[in-house]
Amino acid sequence: MMIKRTINAVCIGFLVLWLLPKFLMVRIEPWEIGVRRSLTGGITERDFDFGYQLRLPFLHSYYRLPRTLQYLDYLAQGEGEQGALEIRTSGNNVIFVDISVPWRIKDEEAWKIVREGFIDTYATKVQSTTTGVLRRVLAQMTNLTIYDSDQRMKVANSITPILNAELEQYHVVAEQVIIRAIRFRKEYEAKLQNKQQFIVQGKLDEALRKESVAKQDTETLEKTIDKEMSLKREEWNKKIEELRTLLELQIAAVEAEAVQYDRKRRSEADAFFAEAKAAGDLAEAKAEALGERLKAKALASRAGKTFSAITAAQNFQLGEIQLNSNDPTFMQRFGSMAAWRKFFLGQ
C-alpha cells in the first residue's frame, strides 16, 4: 500500500513538472516578435525575442508580430489590371510601374504598435502610406527620367528616406524601393518604340559618321607617321654613316699607332738582344780565358803537376820492352821510382 502511494506521488509530481512550464511559459518562434500584455501593468515596454518567456495564467497574454521582411508588390503587367500602380507623370503620360518595397517592424518598437492600437491595421496603413508616397514622387518623373536607367535608380533611392519619414508613425521601416519595370499604354508604347527606334537610328548614323571621320583621321595620322618615320630613318642613317666614318678613322689611327708602337718596341728589343748577346759572348770569352789561365796556373803548380802526372800515368801504355842482359844498370835506370818520377814529373 505504501509503495502504491509512492508511485502515485511520483506520477503526480512528474505530471505537475511537465504541465507547469505549459502554464507558466510561452514559446516565441525565431520569426516572431513577442509583445506581452499584463492585466495589472498593461503593455510591457520592450520586445521579447524568440525562446521561452514567462506567462502567468490569467495575468499575462502575448501578441505575436512578424520579425521577417514583408513585401509590398505592385505588378505592372498591363493597363487597368488590378495591382498595377498607375501613375500620371509630369509629361501627362500614364505609366504602369512594377515596384517592390521590402519593409519590416523597427527594432524594439513592436510593443509601440500594440500600445497605440495598430496591431490589426498597421499593415494596411503601411500599404496606403507607401502607395501615396510612390504616386506623389513618381508623378514628378519626366520622359528623360523614365528612359534613363541611372535616373530611375536615382529616383528610387530618393523615395526611401521620404517613405521612411511617413512610416515612422507606424513604427516600421522600408529597406529599399525597387523599380523593376515601367510600361506605357499600348498606343503610346508603339509610338515610344518608334521614337526610340528613330533615336537609335540617329545615334547609329552619328556613330557611323564619327567612325568615318575617325577612319579618315586615322589614315591621315598613319600617313603623317609614315612620313615622319621616313625622315627619321634617313636622319638616323646619315648619323650612322657619320659615326661609321668617324669610327673607321679612329680605328685606322689606332692601328697606325699600334704598328708604330710595335716597330719601336721590336727595334728596342732587337737592340737590347744584340747588346745583351754581345755582353754575354764577351763574358763567356772572358770566362773561358780566365778558365784557361786558372787551369794553366793550376797545372803549373806542384799539385797540378802531380795531377797531370797521375793522368798521364793512367793513360800510359808501355808496350813491349826488350831487355839488354849485357847492361846490368838498365833495370835500375828504367824500373826505379826515381826514373818514373823524372819521366812523368820531369824531376
Residue 162 pLDDT: 94
Residue 151 pLDDT: 82
Choose between 116 and 280: higher pLDDT.
116
For residue 283, the one-letter residue type is A
pLDDT of 128 over the 90 cut: yes
Q: Are the beta carbons of 50 and 29 closer than 8 angstroms?
A: yes
**pLDDT category, 101, cuts 50, 70, 90?**
very high
Tens digits of residue pLDDT in 283-312: 787 777 777 776 666 656 666 666 666 666
Choose between 54 and 36: higher pLDDT.
36
> What is the residue extent of each domain of the chain?
2-66, 70-184
pLDDT of 319 over the 60 cut: no
pLDDT of 241 over the 50 cut: yes
**pLDDT category, 227, cuts 50, 70, 90?**
confident
The third-level CATH classification (topology) of the domain covering 70-184 is Tetrahydropterin Synthase; Chain A (3.30.479)
Specify the 3-state DSSP secondary structure of 55. Answer: coil
pLDDT of 81 over the 50 cut: no
* Helix H or strand E segment including 178: strand 178-184
**pLDDT category, 314, cuts 50, 70, 90?**
low
**CB-based contacts of 88: which residues, under 8 Å, 6+ apart?**
94, 95, 139
Mean pLDDT of 96-102: 90
Residue 79 pLDDT: 43
Specify the 3-state DSSP secondary structure of 304. Answer: helix
Residue 216 pLDDT: 86
C-alpha grid cell, residue 24: 507558466
Tens digits of residue pLDDT in 230-239: 888 888 888 8
Residue 346 and residue 299: Cα distance in Å, rounded? 14
Tens digits of residue pLDDT in 168-225: 999 999 999 988 888 877 766 656 666 667 677 778 888 888 888 888 888 888 888 8
Choose between 254 and 11: higher pLDDT.
254
If you average pLDDT over every residue of the chain, what do you get? 78
